[in-house]
Amino acid sequence: MLIVDDNEVNRSRVLSDQVARWGMQPTLVEHGRAAIDAMRPVNVQEWRAFDLVLLDANMPGMDGFAVAEAIAGNHTARRRERVMTAGPRLASTAHQSR
């Protein structure tokens, strides 16, 4: 699981603690570009697969929607990821089929 949120409290305490209670060990990053970097291994053509990506919709720079678009645009990434973006007044999910 990849958690992407620019708010330290949300990322490191609220979301991380919740998924830890579910028995998951998340990878935590603070902005959209770091999310893309976390998904790319040494071989740039083959993205690292996360079963779930939780994205903050409202981040400076590359927001959650831009990250979701980047995942959808990469054929190796979109085979596995389930993406959720959320903001104060907006929740949107994109389910990519395998």
Domain residue spans of the chain:
2-95
The confidence score (pLDDT) of residue 28 equals 94
Of the options 3.40.50.2300, 3.30.360.10, 3.30.70.890, 3.30.70.260, the CATH number for the domain spanning 2-95: 3.40.50.2300
Mean pLDDT for all residues in the chain = 77
Q: How far apart are CA 45 and CA 58, in angstroms?
A: 28
Residue 86 has pLDDT above 70, yes or no: no
In Å, what is the CA distance from 39 to each residue of 12, 35, 84?
19, 6, 16
Residue 94 has pLDDT above 60, yes or no: no
